[in-house]
């Protein structure tokens, strides 16, 4: 039976092992990266009668400065803002600065529960501006897309506004708790009301026990896949609280109920499949099949 399960996993076991290694190695590297602080030496804007000012333009690869907050309370990132025309933007602290022109709000005008800060500095070559964006003290159950505007200015550059967009969602622990509840309810319904964990059609007690264990494992695995297929890929999970909570619970419940069905197919398949080198009895062969 173990061999059948291992054969069922087949070529996927190497991919799963590689995914686990990547998850353990990549995540710490990302977490260790230094974040911008959004601290700057505040300079002065260009004079009203200033001429030949440097014009900035949008970064074509990032026309909107996106700050994915995920389920954290703070996030920080940088973006390069190139010149459209003119000479150097400067090279000293204070030659370029930034401020929040418009705070974060959603499409309905609701203000985000969090603090947006901005800072700017010239690049080392003076040919572009490095814009920093920081969000802090975001609410735990804040979810949605919130837009704002930051303004870049300096004595040598024309004032330039850059759009900012922050996405945030409900905490992952809430989604996990919801899935655990859904899986437990699903297993209880499948076991006590549907009888899916009885496996009465399997004669061997050891195989029935193995089928029950495999059914629970399959139910839990289905719940985990549900998490990564719904919550993890949705940057604003929780913005439609009723719909997304019910959808996640139903998906987890369905995965849990399907667990014993998957286990039965695996176990029954291992019973039906003859072992390698085992001779099939003539009476078990299909009619018309050659008998050797």
The answer to whether residues 179 and 266 belong to one domain is: yes
Name 80's bridge partners.
130
pLDDT of residue 251: 94
Question: What was the pLDDT predicted at 22?
Answer: 39
- Half-sphere CA count of 228, side-chain side, radius 13 A: 5
Q: Give yes or no: residues 260 and 183 share one domain.
A: yes
Q: Is the residue at 22 inside a domain?
A: no
Domain assignment present for residue 26? The answer is: no
pLDDT < 50: residue spans in the chain: 1-33, 273, 280-286, 292
User: In this structure, are 79 and 91 located in the same domain?
Assistant: yes
Give the model's pLDDT for residue 203.
59
118 lies in the same domain as 62: yes
Nearest alpha carbon to residue 238 among 225, 247, 250, 229:
247
Q: Which domain holds residue 142?
A: 36-168
Burial 22-50 (b: 16+ CB within 10 A, else e): eeeeeeeeeeeeeebebebeebebbeeee
∠ at Cα 130 (129, 134), nearest 5°? 135
Nearest CA-CA partner of 261 in 220, 223, 215? 215
- CATH code, domain carrying 43: 2.60.40.10
pTM: 0.73
Whether residues 142 and 177 fall in one domain: no
* DSSP class per residue in 239-274: TTHHHHHHHHHHHHHHHHHHHHHHHHHHHHHHHHSP
In a domain, 282, yes or no: no
Of the three residues 131, 147, 168, the one that is the final residue of a domain is: 168
Please write the tens of the pLDDT for every residue from 234-243. Answer: 999 999 999 9
**Last residue within a domain, chosen from 130, 153, 168:** 168
Residues 259 and 139 in one domain: no
Q: What is the pLDDT of residue 202?
A: 64
- Are 162 and 49 members of one domain? yes
Count up the domains in the chain and report the number. 2
What is the C-alpha to C-alpha distance for residues 234 and 231, in angstroms, rounded to an integer? 5
Query: 120 and 42 in one domain?
Result: yes
Residue 216: which H helix or E strand, with range?
A: helix 205-229
Q: 237: how many CB neighbours lie within 10 A of its CB?
A: 26
């Amino acid at each position: 039976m173990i061999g059948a399960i291992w054969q069922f996993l087949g070529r996927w076991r190497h991919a799963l092992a590689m995914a686990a290694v990547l998850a353990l190695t990549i995540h710490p590297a990302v977490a260790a990266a230094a974040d911008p602080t959004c601290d700057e030496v505040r300079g002065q804007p260009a004079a009203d009668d200033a001429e030949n000012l440097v014009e900035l333009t949008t970064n074509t690869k990032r026309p909107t400065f996106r700050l994915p907050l995920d389920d954290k309370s703070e996030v920080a990132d940088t973006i390069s803002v190139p010149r459209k025309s003119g000479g150097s933007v400067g090279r000293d602290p204070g030659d370029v600065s930034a401020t929040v022109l418009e705070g974060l709000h959603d499409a309905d005008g609701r203000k985000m529960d969090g603090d947006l800060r901005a800072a700017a500095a010239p690049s080392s070559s003076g040919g572009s501006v490095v814009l920093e964006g920081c969000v802090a003290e975001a609410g735990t159950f804040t979810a949605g897309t919130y837009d704002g505007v930051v303004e870049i200015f300096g004595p040598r550059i024309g004032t330039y506004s850059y759009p900012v967009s922050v996405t945030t969602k409900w905490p992952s622990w809430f989604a996990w708790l919801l899935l655990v509840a859904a899986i437990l309810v699903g297993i209880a319904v499948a076991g006590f009301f549907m009888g899916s964990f009885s496996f009465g059609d399997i004669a061997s007690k050891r195989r029935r026990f193995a089928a029950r264990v495999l059914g629970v494992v399959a139910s839990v695995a289905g719940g985990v896949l549900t998490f990564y297929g719904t919550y993890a890929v949705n940057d604003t999970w929780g913005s439609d609280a009723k719909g997304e909570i019910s959808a996640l619970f139903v998906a987890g419940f369905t995965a849990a109920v399907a667990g014993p069905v998957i286990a039965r197919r695996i176990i029954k398949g291992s019973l039906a499949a003859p072992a390698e080198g085992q001779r099939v009895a003539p009476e078990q062969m299909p009619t018309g099949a050659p008998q050797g």
